[in-house]
Amino acid sequence: MTDIDGSAVAAEIRSGVANCVETLTEAGVEPALATVLMSDDPASETYVSMKQNDCEEVGIEGVHVDVDSEAPAAELYDTIDELNADDGVHGILVQMPVVDHVDTRRVLRSVDPAKDVDGFHPENVGRLVAGNPRFKPCTPHGIQRLLDAAGVDTEGAEAVVVGRSDIVGKPTANLLFGRGEGGHATTTVCHSRTEDLAEHTRRADVVVAAAGVPEMITADMVSEGATVIDVGINRVERDGESTLVGDVDYEGVRDTAGAITPVPGGVGPMTRAMLLYNTVNAAAEQHGVDVDLP
């Protein structure tokens, strides 16, 4: 069994992104990512802080806007409009979830598609499905890059994605069965209504677990030598202490799988790295600068 070291792969991508920043800077472009937070959720505040730190590390300017969680929804929409109109901002990320009185779908529609570095705007989703993505969503793209780093040839492989979320499950399936590098897999999407989930996962060469259910994928559900990508991040109580686990029973599955991502240290670092990748890509596209994306 081999651990797929997401932290190491992400470090390589961040290094390449830093080189892109140098190229853009030499061309007179200072790439900038704006993060917007309208929530009192401590976890969301932590995620935003980490993304801002990532920007600083590679030389991307980080712009952060806090919107009062009790303010009218219009204040968030106006903030997004202002960032859309700011030529000095190349990428916009609205941290999810937003507060209940805000229409999440309207938020996603409000971000300029050219600055939608999450890849969630309906136009960008449509381009992904059509096989002509502007930005690949960060976590699915990170999964694709991890498979490549692990030497997994997806062409003709059987892939099973467990979970059908708009953020991970659906776009991951589109990338895996799509044309081009990292695609051409025969892909099945399973979900909460799937009967006999194990029957599907056992035949897979690649299993992507993204259902948000702690340790739901067990050793008897994975074929010998399969590659297992664990997207889940779940906090559970164990022996009176809070601990972080994935959607895969890591200790049980690791002896069966040929390669597996740990939690933490697997998919998580890749999601953050691909956000930086999308930001420099957006800046380069907006200003017509050629960069050597990592």
Q: Is residue 118 annotated as a catalytic residue, yes or no? A: yes
Specify the pLDDT at position 239: 83
User: pLDDT tens across 251-284, in order?
Assistant: 999 999 999 999 999 999 999 999 999 999 999 9
The mean pLDDT value of the chain amounts to 97
Domain interval for residue 155: 138-267
Same domain, 259 and 149: yes
Residues 144 and 209 in one domain: yes
Catalytic option among 54, 118, 205, 247: 118
Question: Is 292 considered catalytic here?
Answer: no
In a domain, 162, yes or no: yes
φ, ψ of residue 226 in degrees (nearest 5):
-70, 155
- Whether residues 155 and 107 share a domain: the answer is no
What's the total number of domains in the chain? 2
pLDDT at 215: 97
- CATH number for the domain that contains residue 177: 3.40.50.720
Q: Going by C-beta distance under 8 Å and a sequence separation of 6 or more, which residues neighbour residue 231? A: 139, 143, 163, 168, 208, 209, 210, 246, 247, 267
| 31-80 pLDDT tens trace | 999 999 999 999 999 999 999 999 999 999 999 999 999 999 999 999 99
Do 92 and 162 lie in a common domain?
A: no
The reply to whether 288 falls in a domain is no
Pick left, alpha or beta for residue 62 (phi over 0 → left; psi -120 to 50 → alpha; otherwise beta): beta
Residue 185 CA to residue 64 CA, distance in Å, equals 39
Same domain, 142 and 258: yes
In a domain, 7, yes or no: no
User: Do both 142 and 214 map to the same domain?
Assistant: yes
Please tell me the predicted confidence (pLDDT) of residue 50: 96
Quickly count: other Cβ atoms within 10 Å of residue 233's Cβ: 18
Catalytic residue among 54, 95, 112, 170: 95
So what's the pLDDT on residue 237? 87
Tell me whether residue 55 is in a domain: yes
Q: Which residues of the chain are modeled with pLDDT < 50?
A: none
Say whether both 142 and 234 belong to one domain: yes
Share of the chain above pLDDT 70, in %: 100
Cα–Cα dist 16/168, whole Å: 24
Q: Residue 73: which CATH number?
A: 3.40.50.10860
**180 and 79 share a domain?**
no
Active site residue 170: no
Do the domain assignments include residue 53? yes
